[in-house]
Amino acid sequence: MPTPLITPAASGARQMSGFTTAPADPVEATAWSLPDAAVRRRIADGYRSRGYAIVHVPGIRPSAEHLGEVSAALHLGEVFTPPLYTTSSHTAASGVSRLTAASGGEHPFQDRAGQHVHCDATLQNLGQIPTTLMLCVSAAAAGGGSFLVNLVDAYAELRRVDPEAAEQLAHDSALVRTSTFSSGHSTAGPAFAREADGSWITRYSRTATDTYHPTPGGEAAMERALKFLDAAARSGSAFRTDFTLRAGQALILANDRLGHGRTAFRDDPSAPRLLLRALFALRPLA
């Protein structure tokens, strides 16, 4: 029998208090430089309260230069390029990655198959990359829907109902991510950790390159923890929202608080699905 879909406790403050199963309405902007201060505040407020914001600039096809304009407007600083991406065909010298299907692609995001819930840059230290920015240049002909999972509040709920299981995801070698580029290169660390202010951050991912390692005698507890978070990431969960990023829209995501994934898609050969992605070591400011 599948694990029942879980819901957050009625009592207790949620870290992402604005997160709901209904996707946020896009913030309309007149230009990718986000000249309106009220627009920038709405984006920063959405990032803080729900973990993400969607921006729409009508009539302007997004480019890598526009991605730079958005990051400058939100004071995100320099693009972070994971060291293993510096020689990869999908990432430019600027650190901007092209998320599109490619024959013989090196990375899962170069496939048309769906992607399970994950955080970006999980070969880096937990908390090093708090922000992901993605611009949709061209949407898929069919499919390619995005979903976000409120991992930090799901984990807080797990700690409430099964603290023994939750602890299995917080020890120093709980999650090992292995590179798809460099054979044998991997990073071990906790899947969840508490910040100095008491909030939670995460690098939790459930892909083919992620393995989970319990402490001695903790196998059953780890299995319960993963089963719980698998339920939190399923369609219909109170910790998940689904939407399709349209051409001319951008997603600004708290990469160390929410996980994200994608459904399988079909391309129009004349206009294949293309997203431009950049990672940042800072959070957006209005």
Residue ranges of domains in the chain: 27-280
Q: Identify the pLDDT of residue 179.
A: 80
Geometric angle at alpha carbon 239, from 236 and 243, rounded to 5°: 65
pLDDT at 12 over 60: no
Question: What pairing do the DSSP bridges indicate for beta strands 175-178 and 186-189?
Answer: antiparallel
Question: What pairing do the DSSP bridges indicate for beta strands 175-178 and 240-243?
Answer: unpaired
Geometric angle at alpha carbon 174, from 237 and 169, rounded to 5°: 40
- Phi/psi for 112 (5° steps) reads -95, -5
Mean pLDDT of the chain: 91
Among 120, 149, 113, 140, CA closest to 244: 140
Q: Identify the pLDDT of residue 4.
A: 45
Q: Identify the pLDDT of residue 108.
A: 54
The total of other beta-carbon atoms located within 10 Å of residue 225's CB is 28
Calpha distance 233→205 (Å, rounded)? 11
Q: What is the DSSP track for 57-110?
A: -TT----HHHHHHHHHHTT--SEE--GGGTT-TTB-TTS-EEE---TT-SSGGG
Q: Identify the pLDDT of residue 83.
A: 72
Q: What is the band of 10 on the pLDDT scale with cuts at 50, 70, 90? A: very low
Q: Which helix (H) or strand (E) holds 164?
A: helix 163-167
Whether 129 contacts 255, CB under 8 Å: yes
Q: Identify the pLDDT of residue 184.
A: 63
Q: What is the band of 95 on the pLDDT scale with cuts at 50, 70, 90? A: confident
pLDDT at 206 over 90: yes
pLDDT at 3 over 50: no
Question: From residue 7, how far is each of 10, 51, 75, 80, 154 by CA, in Å?
Answer: 9, 18, 35, 35, 8
Q: Return the CATH superfamily for domain 27-280.
A: Clavaminate synthase-like (3.60.130.10)
